[in-house]
Structure 1
Amino acid sequence: MSTRLSGKTALVTGATSNIGRAIALEFAAQGAHVVISGRDQRRGDEVVAQIVAAGGRADFVAADLDGSADASHRLAAEATRVLGGRIDILVNNAGIYPGDATAATDEATFDRVYAINVKAPYFLTAAIAPAMARRGGGAVINLGSWIARLGIPVGSLYSSTKGAIETLTRAWAAEYGPSGVRVNAISPGVIRSDGWAADHPANAMMRGTPAGSGGTPDAIAHAAVYLASDESAFVQGTVVDVDGGRVGVAVIGA
């Protein structure tokens, strides 16, 4: 087990699958005590068991982050208790992605997506970052998305929420950074989930990039470890693109 996060405590939302799960596993492998948060007790227990079997420390705290301040505050309080009174690292990962076109999105869906993708991390950060600031340090890592800055013809609602998260990243860095709390974001590209075949349609969105196809959740986890560790002490209010070159590079003829 490595020690880049030795002695640190971390809360990772949406940590029972895909990117969140990979981040939680890597944090624990780097020495952190991790709270796995999500709605599914069975999947959460599986992640905890995997971490414990590898010699790490983890606990599951069930939470339905519906966007209400109360839900975020309850999670913050319980995670703080489980982690021994403090949270050193917060990863705002939980989110939902409806891929409908704009005209096909109803008001209830709009409100639900903004509640989960923006309101929930907003109030969770509001509940946790001030305590970090009082202790003089901490790290908040938000999950953005490549489609916040490169338009595609579906998913306008989701991409707008991730644009909001990237803006909040910079605002929170200004608000909490002077007190020692580093706030940054990761912008993943197309990330493969379990069961993806090589010809999965999403891979088409990576044509014309250096990578040429989707990445893995581990790629995001490695970036999260960097942003959570002391190695990134001079990194503030930054969005780190981990997208195979999608938003910044065009490979001609690919």
Structure 2
Amino acid sequence: MSMRLAGRTALVTGATSNIGRAIAEAYAAQGAHVVVSGRSAERGEEVVAGIRARGGRADFVQADLDGGAAASQTLAEQATRALGGRIDILVNNAGIYPADSTEATDEKTFDQVYAVNVKAPFFLTAAVAPAMAEAGGGAIINLGSWIARLGIPVGALYSSTKGAMETLTRAWAAEFGPRGVRVNAISPGVVLAPAPGEEHPAEVMMKGTPANRMGTPEEIANAAVYLAADESAFVHGVVLDVDGGRTTVAVVA
């Protein structure tokens, strides 16, 4: 059985835990050489060690994507070197989620969340996409969220940043698609690594959906593999809902 990403290189931000980690592991399992990026060197090296133990190729590049263009540019340069001179796949996954109400959100938090969730991937894409185009093409996958389109009473700030990323997905598809770079997004539902025997408070958000359960990081990673692979060669500018039906089907609970 041929691996779907054999010979390709990938940079995954926020890849030291949860969805980002699952995507990095799935890409490596499909033959890609992956740069695992995140703030924690300890967790990053753990992810890399696990990938290598399974026969995959991975390297860790530490990065604190604070929104500064310099930080994004530096990550792009370091990842490109680690991957042998090119990045074929970029996954903009890193983000922070303060679940505060609007009235409890101060200006410092507002600026920080937009810096990490929108400004950092904006400048990372600006650094990576032109090089992809010059090399003959590539794929960029952004992470949105179901709460960007279905309002809940907490997390307005976070959901607005994910709405911005979904809009950027369509704009970048128009900008970079003609140059050979496909840009798409994944909108996950409530996704947490399973904890046997424990019910997480967020599970109630998925009650009454067609899936009637939370998603797993691996299920989001499967979608990320599809959007990076040749099977999706004709897919541009979509936001792929991988949410158990949360945003498309009336919830009966």
| Whole-angstrom CA distance in 2 between matches of 1:159 and 1:205 | 15
Matched, 1:210 2:210: yes
| Whole-angstrom CA distance in 2 between matches of 1:120 and 1:197 | 37
Report the residue type matching 2:22 in the other structure: A
Matched, 1:74 2:83: no
Give, in angstroms, the shift of residue 196 of structure 1: 7.0
Match of residue 49 from structure 2: 49
Match of residue 21 from structure 2: 21
Give, in angstroms, the shift of residue 195 of structure 1: 3.8
Residue 23 and residue 85 in structure 1: after superposition, are their counterparts in 2 closer, same or farther (change >3 A)?
same
TM-score using structure 1 length? 0.97
Give, in angstroms, the shift of residue 169 of structure 1: 0.1
- 1:194-226 superposed Cα distances (whole Å, 9 cap, x missing partner): 547542110000122011121100000000000
Matched, 1:170 2:170: yes
Give, in angstroms, the shift of residue 140 of structure 1: 0.2
User: After superposition, where does 1:175-254 map in structure 2 within 5 Å?
Assistant: 175-193=175-193, 195=195, 198-252=198-252, 254=253
SS in 2 for 1:6: coil
| Whole-angstrom CA distance in 2 between matches of 1:108 and 1:196 | 37
Residue 197 and residue 203 in structure 1: after superposition, are their counterparts in 2 closer, same or farther (change >3 A)?
farther
Contact 1:18/1:194 (CA < 8 Å) preserved in 2?
A: no
TM-score using structure 2 length? 0.98
| Whole-angstrom CA distance in 1 between matches of 2:192 and 2:126 | 31
- 1:160-207 superposed Cα distances (whole Å, 9 cap, x missing partner): 000000000000000000011000000000001354754211000012
Report the residue type matching 2:110 in the other structure: F
Give, in angstroms, the shift of residue 88 of structure 1: 0.0
Q: What count of residue pairs does the alignment treat as equivalent? A: 253
Gaps of 5+ in 1: none
Give, in angstroms, the shift of residue 134 of structure 1: 1.2
- 1:33-66 superposed Cα distances (whole Å, 9 cap, x missing partner): 0000001011000000000000000000000000
Match of residue 137 from structure 2: 137
- 1:63-84 superposed Cα distances (whole Å, 9 cap, x missing partner): 0000000000000000001101
| Whole-angstrom CA distance in 1 between matches of 2:250 and 2:70 | 45
